[in-house]
């Protein structure tokens, strides 16, 4: 899923170990490709999935790397071999173990391409919490995998003949049917091979609908953009084109009034701008629960989170149960609708939500349309173009790790002052601006530095130049580095990447400097009518 700080889509990540398995090379080779600029490191031990996919399509097989690297051009998924494997697994194992072993037999590249991560049974069980089940209800899992949601529905009381499922993998369908037969003695024909995004339209035309739809959709499955746009139009997803959004819209289209829908989805769904339209659609329904299950899938760094809704018209005073780790608390729907971009920041409690409301109720502007933005320099091959000692013809360049809120560390990297051979360079006027802010890109904290010496930065740091903001660049730096705005950034976005789209949503309280010549955290909180409590949190003044 392509993006950078100028896009609004989450950057999916893979671990270095997972990338090595996917392309069939050592982790040392992956680290070397990071150093030479082929792959982009997006965090400690992580690379961006986009850079891996770009490497597969544009570099492997076209440049001289090594023979092993070209193996990644093939999926490596042998369907017949997988089918033979299923026959063996069904004879050898029972229950959930069949699905676990089958999933483990799939290649990493195939699982990544198709979004194959089967839901653990303990999560399937928890998602049904507090939902009354009767035998006559009709249950559907749109992408059933090895059948854990279907099995759980039957165990809770849904009649086996009222359970339906689809999956594009006929082996997964075979496993699910066998499990239902083994555990309940019912030979079902209602679990079928099919693409749900197509099947939902057929079901809708036939007037078929379901009381319960629970699933773990294929996160970030690769399908053509034209198909995404078609399905988005069909199911009312707006500009939310990720497969998670499309499956959500398709499921809602065949959910009965008062029916329940439970989705296990990636954390990006809750706070990234690209999901804003589908979040707005969800908000029109009664949301019952938000749940954070942590990093539930081996090899995935993104958290598995969930939403459960009831197909009723929402009310602003609806209470939503928010569950994360050992914490359970309620939030009103209204407290989410007041967030910018309808962000579902359910990791934030009601008191904290009131602080966020207070921050946005004070007079403010945003950086949207009031700043120019630029990426740091991407050389394409740091080993070739960067050195660690000053030399004639080279200029110092700063990395994200060199940036602190109070100073820049002494430069440890120097770059050829002829930028013509670099992969990506912003207009030089951005680096050479009289005043600019440079900031860390990979960070869970906002860390800005005011620069008036025309310094250059590598792509682990980025640049913004404020325009007609009403305060100086230095004053803007103070606000963005403040403890309360850092707190807000975490409570809204809960991310370790500082994206332009997120920065453009933050309130910039320029009026503070109308009555305060200097900046102090205490004065700023007093101006905002916010109190810092003894436990380090905040509350709005009564």
Distances (CA, A) of 505 to 81, 271, 376, 514: 50, 12, 22, 22
Same domain, 279 and 411: no
Q: What is the spatial distance between Cα 153 and Cα 158, in angstroms, rounded to a whole number?
A: 6
Position 353 in a domain:
no
Position 50 in a domain:
yes
The predicted-structure confidence for 357-411, as pLDDT tens digits, reads as follows: 999 999 999 999 999 999 999 988 888 899 999 999 999 999 999 999 999 999 9
The predicted-structure confidence for 199-251, as pLDDT tens digits, reads as follows: 999 999 999 999 999 999 987 777 888 999 999 999 999 999 999 999 999 99
Task: Reply yes or no on whether the pLDDT at 115 is more than 50.
Answer: no
> Residues 440-451: what's their mean pLDDT?
94
Position 100 in a domain:
no
> Any alpha helices (H) in 301-436, and if so which ranges?
333-337, 350-361, 382-385, 428-431
Residue-range definition of the domain harbouring residue 20: 13-73
Contacts 24+ apart (CB under 8 A), 401-406: 401/440, 401/460, 402/461, 403/438, 403/439, 403/440, 403/447, 403/448, 403/449, 403/461, 404/447, 404/449, 405/447, 405/448, 405/449, 405/481
Q: What is the spatial distance between Cα 68 and Cα 21, in angstroms, rounded to a whole number?
A: 11
- List residues bridging with 375 in a β-sheet: 462
Instruction: For residue 354, count CB atoms less than 10 angstroms from its CB and return exposed for 0-12, middle for 13-18, buried for 19 or more.
Output: middle
Residue whose tokens read 């409301």: 357
**Residue 520 neighbours by CB under 8 Å, 6+ apart:** none
Residue 431: its pLDDT value, please?
A: 95
Task: Reply yes or no on whether the pLDDT at 23 is more than 90.
Answer: no
Q: How many domains does the chain have?
A: 3
β-pairing, 386-387 vs 413-416, is antiparallel
Task: Reply yes or no on whether the pLDDT at 319 is more than 50.
Answer: yes
β-pairing, 46-48 vs 13-15, is antiparallel
Position 104 in a domain:
no
Position 4 in a domain:
no
Strand order across the beta sheet in which 413-416 lies: 386-387, 413-416, 394-398, 456-457
- Domain with residue 224: its CATH number is 3.40.50.150
- Domain with residue 394: its CATH number is 3.90.220.10
Same domain, 432 and 474: yes
Last residue of a domain, one of 312, 347, 382: 347
pTM: 0.78
Position 355 in a domain:
no
């Amino acid at each position: 899923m392509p993006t950078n700080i100028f896009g609004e889509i989450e950057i999916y990540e893979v671990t270095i170990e997972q990338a090595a398995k996917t392309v069939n090379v050592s982790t040392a080779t992956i680290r070397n490709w990071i150093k030479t600029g082929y792959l982009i490191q997006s965090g400690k031990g992580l690379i961006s999935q986009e850079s891996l996919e770009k490497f597969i399509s544009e570099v492997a097989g076209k440049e001289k790397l090594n023979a092993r690297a070209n193996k990644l051009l093939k999926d490596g998924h042998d369907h017949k071999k997988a089918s033979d494997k299923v026959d063996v697994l069904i004879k050898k194992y029972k229950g959930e173990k069949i699905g676990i072993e089958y999933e483990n037999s799939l290649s990493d590249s195939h699982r990544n391409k198709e979004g194959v991560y089967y839901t653990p049974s303990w999560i399937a069980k928890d998602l049904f919490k507090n939902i009354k089940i009767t035998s006559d209800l009709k249950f559907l899992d749109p992408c059933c995998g090895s059948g854990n949601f279907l099995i759980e529905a039957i165990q809770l009381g849904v009649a086996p003949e009222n359970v339906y499922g689809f999956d594009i993998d006929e082996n997964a369908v075979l496993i699910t049917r066998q499990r239902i037969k083994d555990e309940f003695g019912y030979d079902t024909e209602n679990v079928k091979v099919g693409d749900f995004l197509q099947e939902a339209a057929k079901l809708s035309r036939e007037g078929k609908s379901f009381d319960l739809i629970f699933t773990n959709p294929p996160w970030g499955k690769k399908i053509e953009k034209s198909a995404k746009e078609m399905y988005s139009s069909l199911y009312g997803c707006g500009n939310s084109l990720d497969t998670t959004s499309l499956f959500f819209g398709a499921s809602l289209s065949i959910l009965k009034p008062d029916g329940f829908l439970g989705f296990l989805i990636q954390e990006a769904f809750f706070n990234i701008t690209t999901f804003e339209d589908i979040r707005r659609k969800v908000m029109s329904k009664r949301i019952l629960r938000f749940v954070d299950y942590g990093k539930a899938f081996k090899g995935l760094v993104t958290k598995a989170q969930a939403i459960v809704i009831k197909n009723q018209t929402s009310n602003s005073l609806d209470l939503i149960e928010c569950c994360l780790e050992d914490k359970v608390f309620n939030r009103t729907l209204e407290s989410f609708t007041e967030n910018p971009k309808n962000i579902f920041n359910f990791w934030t409690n009601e008191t904290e939500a009131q602080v966020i409301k207070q921050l946005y109720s004070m007079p403010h502007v945003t950086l949207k349309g009031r700043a120019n933005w630029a990426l740091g320099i991407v050389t394409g091959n740091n080993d070739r173009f960067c050195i660690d000692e000053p030399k004639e013809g080279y200029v110092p360049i700063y990395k994200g790790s060199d940036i602190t809120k109070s100073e820049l560390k002494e430069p440890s990297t120097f770059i050829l002052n002829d930028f013509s051979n670099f992969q990506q360079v912003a207009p030089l006027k951005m680096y050479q601006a009289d005043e600019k802010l440079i900031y860390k890109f990979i960070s869970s904290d906002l860390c800005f530095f005011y620069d008036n010496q025309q310094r250059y930065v590598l792509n682990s740091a980025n640049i913004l130049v404020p325009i007609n903001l009403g305060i100086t660049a230095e004053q803007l730096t103070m606000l963005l580095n403040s403890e309360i705005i850092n707190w807000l950034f975490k409570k809204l976005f809960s991310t370790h990447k500082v994206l332009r789209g997120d920065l453009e949503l933050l309130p910039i309280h320029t009026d503070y400097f109308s009555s305060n010549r200097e900046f102090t955290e205490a004065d700023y909180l007093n101006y905002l009518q916010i109190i810092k409590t003894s436990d380090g949190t905040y509350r709005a003044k009564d």
